[in-house]
Homo-oligomer: A and B are copies of this chain.
């Protein structure tokens, strides 16, 4: 992997765990075995690093939203969306965790504005298909919970489960969480 991509990955890891404001260019440089000047050679600013780190995830989520926005989430379309959504979370877990949790406090960074409007669109989309308070909570828990569980540090004394198993379990859980009240049996 190129130094350029290395830096992006290191920065993403730090942004996700220590926060954007809590991560210094010096720290990224140390983790990469470079000087701070070298980091700024590859990326013109700290903001540019953030853009490189979370930009692709935002673009991808925009694509998914464009596909499903406006149409009802029933039948095979619903299953397909949930699979896409879970795969998106698996691929961009650190990115999602980063802009989900810190987006609101970084309001005037351009790439974060895109992320925030994305979350807003996502919320509106589910508000249109899930009218009750509980359904909206369910959506939020699925999103925030999956992002948390996928980016939480892993217990190193035990091997990580295979990704296929995680994916299947996630699809099952998210399907359950996003099932509309009307299709659910009363508790």
Chain B residue with the shortest CB-CB distance to A168: B134
Say which one of A52-60, A67-75, A96-104 lies at the interface with B.
A96-104
A145 adjacent to chain B (CB < 8 Å):
yes
Question: Are the C-beta atoms of A153 and B104 separated by less than 8 Å?
Answer: yes
Give Cα distance in the complex from A95 to B155, angstroms.
Answer: 23
| Copy count, this protein chain | 2
**Cβ–Cβ < 8 Å partners of A20 in chain B:** 19, 22
Interface residues of A in 13-31 (CB under 8 A from B): 17-23
The dominant DSSP class at the A interface is helix
What would 10 more interface pairs be, CB under 8 Å, given A17-B105, A137-B149?
A17-B104, A18-B102, A21-B21, A22-B102, A133-B166, A133-B169, A140-B148, A141-B149, A144-B149, A176-B187
A8 adjacent to chain B (CB < 8 Å):
no
Question: Are the C-beta atoms of A145 and B140 separated by less than 8 Å?
Answer: yes
Chain B nearest CB: distance from A127 CB in Å? 9
Given A123-B155, A137-B170, the answer on whether A105 and B148 have CB atoms closer than 8 Å is no
Give Cα distance in the complex from A97 to B147, angstroms.
Answer: 13
**Cβ–Cβ < 8 Å partners of A106 in chain B:** 18
